[in-house]
């Protein structure tokens, strides 16, 4: 077990730069998720940590020592691939045992036929079998030891891939979208199992996903990436409640955040679609702003902070509904509102209200601007309770 | 009008299930018929004629013939030429099959790692496949000529003695085998290249992380097992091609020197079309087919159990 440090990692494929000076510190035993849309560089970063890809600049350290010159297996990390990359011609047992046979047997003892001449091999294989069995029991896969990966279900294959990673007691686990090939139900189940596994093993895990729900539910910290940059690094609550940019705000949270064009009024107040909101901003570089409000923070009703919308349709999710609206002022802007199922369906034009403290204000570059609202006091209390 | 309807209805209302079954049966037979007829005309009927001939004493151009039972088979067992032909053919196969499979695998692995020059090498190795073996055999005969041939010139230049590759009884089959391998490598290589491209890249990455970074380990743990189906196919087709050795013998050695390069197919050709012993040639052809069949079945069953698909 060890922490990881990335310093100034830069990588380009030809003229396309995929990672721009990434700095990242991952604590020992932390569950860190790299999340972002496809093509944001998260998988490349993971592969650089693993040593499968080499960085153009920068360095990777594991447990305080640089591993840039080391081959993948010498870095003592384990990796779980998206499609598991199990060896299809080997049994489950052999798949899990392979990392151990590779490190503990010499080339002669691994050669076909000749290996049977070695007496040391028999003894070592006995030890390996014991260790493989111990790992398999943890993952409840010992019952299909002799089957091949092709005869297993997706979830079982996933467990075997985990077993192959666990058996070496690696310094860190690297996981590249390990759940994306599973069906929705199994994915939720495996999410729980992975979280429990992390708690039990206490090992550093770096997890790559494009699914923000996986990132939110499993991680200690999330690094939101886009276009080769880390946009925000923080706890799931931090990233959700205080998104650093519009891109982060749009990526984290489902359904996605509502974004409205706005601008700064003469006295520093935020003006949204002709209404002056009880929010002040002081350090906006230009008058143009974007105001974001999460669908779950919107209510049908009146108040100081409202937008006027026209009802389009309703999505019933069972326990709740997502209502889709168009902004009356500019109908191309869709507005989403999350409501309880027993809410009456509105008809025609309605006003959607939100609280000033639920507003996220971004400048013209999409960067977050801190706001002051009249309800600053109540907000302070709320944040204090979160810090605990 | 009503009468007409009444007449039609019973037909239309006939039990649909059995009608449907008849239609399906005839449609099925109709679709299968062209392939079946072709198979009978081009494969099964000639085979039956062959089997029939092998029990007679028919000679090409003869007006009548009589049945001789298994006499032809008895003769074949006693015939020193046939024994020698079978031994030579098996020796040729024993060199060409491992050589043709392993060399093409090696070439494929080496070429597969090339990026820009890959297609160039592919063309170079594939050229012998596209050429006519008869023409190539003539070329090889010239290259291998004891005094004028390029190969002997080079050997002489390197300080070796002149070697008469095609007139030295011990060397003639290995020489022919080398030419056979040269002809086969390009085709087998293309098959292996296709197999190599189908191996998922993350298996190599997984094996890299698991500690198998030695090329031999990577080959044994990923490449070789994943190429199993390709290897099996290549081995069986190479075996059949090798067993059919004929062109190079017919052009370059005509079975010589002193019968040292007599092979089964060439012996059949001589018996049938030079000596006109059609019935005997038919018998030998059956023996040839039996050999091919037994070996193919054996290989398929032995390899099939070891191959992972």
Average pLDDT across each block of 10 residues of chain B; the chain has 309 residues. List them in order.
49 69 92 95 92 83 77 81 89 94 93 86 86 84 82 83 78 89 91 92 89 82 89 89 87 80 86 84 89 84 72
Give tens-digit pLDDT for B268-307: 888 888 888 888 888 889 888 988 888 888 877 877 776 7
The answer as to whether B158 is a domain residue is yes
Say what the pLDDT of residue A237 is: 93
Inter-residue contact B237 to B192 (CB < 8 Å)? no
| Of the candidates A297, A222, A207, the residue with the CA atom closest to the CA atom of residue A252 | A222
What is the structure's pLDDT at A1? 60
Is residue A343 a contact partner of residue A300, using CB atoms and an 8 Å limit?
yes
Three-state secondary structure call for residue A181: coil
- Assigned domain for B162 exists: yes
B217 has a chain A CB within 8 A of its CB:
yes
Give the gap in angstroms from C-alpha A83 to the nearest C-alpha of chain B.
Answer: 9
How far is it, in rounded angstroms, from Cα B106 to Cα B103? Answer: 5
CATH class of A255-387: mainly beta
Cβ-count burial A298-335 (b if 16+ within 10 Å, e if not): bbbeeeebbbbbebeebeeeeeebbbbbbbbeeeebeb
- B207 CB neighbours in chain A (<8 A) are 87, 98
Give bridge partners of residue A264 from the DSSP assignment: A270
Query: Is residue A20 classed as helix, strand or coil in its secondary structure?
Result: strand
Cβ-Cβ contacts under 8 Å for B48 (sequence gap 6 or more):
none
A29: CB partners within 8 A, 6+ apart: A1, A202, A203, A204
**Cβ distance of B214 and A107 shorter than 8 Å:** yes
Q: At A384, is the secondary structure helix, strand, or coil?
A: helix
Give the number of beta-carbon pairs within 8 Å between A and B: 73
Residue A260 CB coordination number (10 Å): 18
B89 and B218 assigned to the same domain: yes
What is the SS3 assignment for A198? helix
| Chain A residues close to B200, C-beta within 8 Å | 83, 85
* Minimal C-alpha gap between A248 and chain B (Å): 30
Q: Is the dihedral of CA A143, A145, A147, A149 positive or negative?
A: positive
CA distance A42 to B53: 73
Query: Nearest Cβ partner of A88 from B208, B210, B308?
Result: B308
C-alpha closest to that of A280 among A378, A355, A382, A369: A369
Rounded-to-integer distance, Cα A247 and Cα B226, Å = 43
Contact A292, A247 (CB under 8 A): no
Q: Are residues A339 and A300 in contact, defined by beta-carbon separation less than 8 angstroms?
A: yes
In a domain, B69, yes or no: no
- Alpha carbons A199 and A29: distance in angstroms, whole number: 9
Let me know if residue B140 belongs to a domain.
Answer: yes
Q: For residue B60, is it within any domain?
A: no
Cα(A11)–Cα(A62) distance, rounded to whole angstroms?
A: 19
Domain residue extents for chain A: 4-240, 255-387
Tokens of B168: 């030295």
Helix B169-197 vs helix B133-143: crossing angle, to nearest 10: 130
HSE at residue B141, side-chain half, CA atoms within 13 A, is 14
**Closest to A227 (Cα-Cα) out of A45, A7, A4:** A45
A107/B211 Cβ within 8 A: no
| First-residue to last-residue Cα distance in chain B | 66
Answer whether residue B300 is part of any domain.
Answer: yes
Report the pLDDT value the prediction gives residue A385, as an integer from 0 to 100. Answer: 40
Q: Are residues B50 and B79 in the same domain?
A: no
Residues B28 and B124 in one domain: no
Q: How far apart are CA A160 and CA A135, in angstroms?
A: 10
As given in the structure block, the two tokens for residue A201 are: 């093993």
Task: Assess whether B118 and B8 both reside in one domain.
Answer: no
Tell the residue number behind the tokens 């070592």, with chain if given. A124
- Interface probe for A, chosen from B203, B205, B206, B308 (most Cβ of A below 10 Å), is B206
pLDDT digits (tens), chain A, 388 positions? 678 999 999 999 988 899 999 999 999 999 999 999 888 899 999 999 999 999 999 999 998 889 999 888 888 899 999 888 999 888 899 899 988 888 888 777 777 777 777 788 888 888 899 999 888 888 888 888 889 988 888 888 988 998 998 888 888 999 999 888 888 888 888 899 899 989 988 999 999 999 989 999 999 999 999 999 999 999 999 999 999 999 999 999 888 999 999 989 888 888 888 888 888 888 888 889 999 999 999 988 888 888 999 998 888 888 888 999 998 888 888 888 888 888 787 788 889 999 988 999 999 889 999 887 654 444 444 443 443 3
Which residue's entry shows tokens 């038919």?
B282
The pLDDT value recorded for residue B308 is 67
Judge whether A298 and A353 are in contact, CB under 8 Å.
yes
The length of chain B, given as a count of residues: 309
| Distance of alpha carbon A234 from alpha carbon B33, whole angstroms | 71
Distance CA(B241)–CA(A356), nearest Å, equals 82
- Residues A258/A358, Cβ–Cβ less than 8 Å: no
CB contact under 8 A, A85 and B213: no
Q: Is residue B280 domain-shared with residue B225, that is, in the same domain?
A: yes
* CA distance linking residue B96 with residue A312, whole number of Å: 74
Closest-CA residue of A relative to B306 is: A89
Closest CA to B225 of A118, A175, A150, A165: A150
User: Of the candidates A60, A56, A81, which has an alpha carbon nearest to the alpha carbon of residue A70?
Assistant: A60
Q: CB of B116 within 8 Å of any CB in chain A?
A: no
- Count of domains forming chain B: 2
pLDDT for the residue numbered A293: 93
Angle at which helix B118-130 crosses helix B80-112, to 10 degrees, equals 160
Q: How far apart are CA B29 and CA A244, in angstroms?
A: 71
Confirm whether B66 is domain-assigned.
no
DSSP A306-335: EEEEEEEEEEE-SSEEEEEEEESSSTTSEE
Chain A residues with CB-CB distance to B under 8 A?
A: 50-52, 71-73, 77-79, 81-83, 85-90, 98-99, 102-103, 107, 110-112, 148, 164, 168
Same domain assignment for residues B139 and B274: yes
Give Cα A297 distance to the centre of its chain: 23
* Secondary structure of chain B as H, E, C letters: CHHHHHHHHHHHCCCHHHHHHHHHHHHHHHHHHHHHHHHHHHHHHHHHHHHHHHCECCCCCCCCCCECCCHHHHHHHHCHHHHHHHHHHHHHHHHHHHHHHHHHHHHHHHHHCCCCCHHHHHHHHHHHHHCCHHHHHHHHHHHCCCCCCHHHHHHHHCCCCCCCCCCCHHHHHHHHHHHHHHHHHHHHHHHHHHHHHCCCHHHHHHHHHCCCCCHHHHHHHHHHHHCHHHHHHHHHHHHHHHHCCCHHHHHHHCCCCCCCCCCHHHHHHHHHHHCCCHHHHHHHHHHHHHHHHHHHHHHHHHHHHHCCC
What does the alpha-carbon distance between residue A107 and residue B221 come to, in Å, rounded to a whole number? 12
Q: How far apart are CA B286 and CA B292, in angstroms?
A: 10
Tell me if ipTM is over 0.90.
no
Q: In terms of domains, do B175 and B291 share one?
A: yes
- Residue B199 at interface with chain A, using a CB cutoff of 8 Å: no
* B63 domain-assigned: no
Pair (B30, B141) in one structural domain: no
Domain of residue B225: give its range: 74-306
Residue A200 neighbours by CB distance under 10 Å: 9
- The reply to whether B191 and B276 lie within a common domain is yes
Q: pLDDT value at position B6?
A: 47
Domain at A4-240, CATH homologous superfamily: P-loop containing nucleotide triphosphate hydrolases (3.40.50.300)
Q: How far is CA A333 from the centre of its chain?
A: 28
Res B13: pLDDT: 53
Spell out which residues of chain A touch residue B205, defining contact as CB-CB under 8 Å. 50, 52, 72, 79, 81, 85
Give Cβ neighbours of residue A192 (< 8 Å, ≥ 6 apart).
none
């Amino acid at each position: 077990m060890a922490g990881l440090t990335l310093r100034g990692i830069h990588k380009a494929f030809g003229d396309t730069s995929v990672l721009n000076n990434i700095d990242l510190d991952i604590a020992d035993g932390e569950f860190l998720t790299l999340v972002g849309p496809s093509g944001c560089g998260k998988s490349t970063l993971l592969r650089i940590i693993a040593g499968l890809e080499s960085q153009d600049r920068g360095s990777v350290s594991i447990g305080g020592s640089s591993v840039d010159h080391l081959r993948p297996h010498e870095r003592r990390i384990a990796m779980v691939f998206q499609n598991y990359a199990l060896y299809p011609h080997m049994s489950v047992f052999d798949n899990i045992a392979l990392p151990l046979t590779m490190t503990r047997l010499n080339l002669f003892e691994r050669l076909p036929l000749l290996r049977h001449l070695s007496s040391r091999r028999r003894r070592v294989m006995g030890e390996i079998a014991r260790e493989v069995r111990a790992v398999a029991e943890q993952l409840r896969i010992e019952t299909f030891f002799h089957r091949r990966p092709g005869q297993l279900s997706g979830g079982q294959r996933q467990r075997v891939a985990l077993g192959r990673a666990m058996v070496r007691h690696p310094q860190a686990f690297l996981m590249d979208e390990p759940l994306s090939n599973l069906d929705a139900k199994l994915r939720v189940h495996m999410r729980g199992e992975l979280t429990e596994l992390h708690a039990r093993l206490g090992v550093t895990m770096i997890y790559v996903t494009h699914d923000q729900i996986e990132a939110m539910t499993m991680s200690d910290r999330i690094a939101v990436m886009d276009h080769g940059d880390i946009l925000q690094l923080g706890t799931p609550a931090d990233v959700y409640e205080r998104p650093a940019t519009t891109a982060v705000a749009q990526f984290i949270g489902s359904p996605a955040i509502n974004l409205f064009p706005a601008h700064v009024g003469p006295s520093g107040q935020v003006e949204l679609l002709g209404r002056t909101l009880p929010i002040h901003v002081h350090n906006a570089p230009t008058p143009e702003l974007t105001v974001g409000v999460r669908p779950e923070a919107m209510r049908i009703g009146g108040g100081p902070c409202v937008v006027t919308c026209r009802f389009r349709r309703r999505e019933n999710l069972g326990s709740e509904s997502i209502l889709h609206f168009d902004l009356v002022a500019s109908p191309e802007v869709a507005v989403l509102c999350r409501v309880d199922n027993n809410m009456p369906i509105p008809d025609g034009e309605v006003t959607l209200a939100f609280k000033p403290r639920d507003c996220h204000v971004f400048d013209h570059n999409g960067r977050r601007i801190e706001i002051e609202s009249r309800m600053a006091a109540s907000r302070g209390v709320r944040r204090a309770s979160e810090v605990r | 009008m009503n009468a007409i309807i009444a007449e039609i209805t019973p037909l239309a209302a006939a039990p649909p299930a059995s009608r449907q079954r008849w239609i399906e049966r005839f449609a099925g037979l109709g679709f299968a018929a062209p392939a079946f007829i072709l198979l009978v005309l081009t494969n099964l009927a000639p085979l039956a004629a062959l089997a029939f001939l092998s029990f007679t004493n028919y000679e090409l151009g003869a007006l009548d013939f009589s049945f001789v039972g298994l006499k032809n088979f008895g003769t074949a067992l006693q015939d020193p030429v046939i024994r020698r032909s079978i031994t030579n053919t098996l020796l040729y196969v024993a060199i060409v099959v491992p050589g043709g499979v392993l060399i093409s695998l090696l070439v494929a692995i080496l070429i597969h790692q090339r990026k820009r020059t890959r297609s160039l090498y592919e063309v170079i190795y594939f050229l012998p496949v596209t050429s006519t073996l008869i023409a190539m055999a003539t070329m090889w005969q010239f290259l291998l000529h004891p005094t004028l041939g390029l190969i002997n010139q080079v050997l002489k230049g390197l300080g070796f003695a002149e070697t008469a590759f095609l007139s030295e009884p011990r060397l003639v089959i290995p020489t022919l085998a080398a030419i056979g391998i040269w002809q086969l490598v390009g085709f087998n290589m293309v098959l292996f290249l296709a197999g190599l491209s189908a191996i998922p890249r993350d298996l190599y990455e997984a094996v890299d992380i698991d500690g198998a970074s030695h090329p031999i380990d990577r080959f044994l743990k990923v490449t070789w097992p994943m190429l199993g189906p390709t290897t099996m196919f290549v081995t069986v087709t190479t075996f059949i091609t090798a067993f059919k050795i004929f062109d190079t013998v017919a052009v370059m050695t005509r079975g010589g020197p002193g019968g040292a390069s007599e092979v089964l197919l060439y012996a059949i050709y001589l018996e049938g079309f030079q000596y006109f012993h059609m019935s005997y040639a038919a018998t030998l052809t059956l023996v040839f087919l039996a050999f091919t069949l037994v070996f193919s079945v054996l290989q398929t069953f032995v390899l099939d159990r070891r191959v992972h698909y």
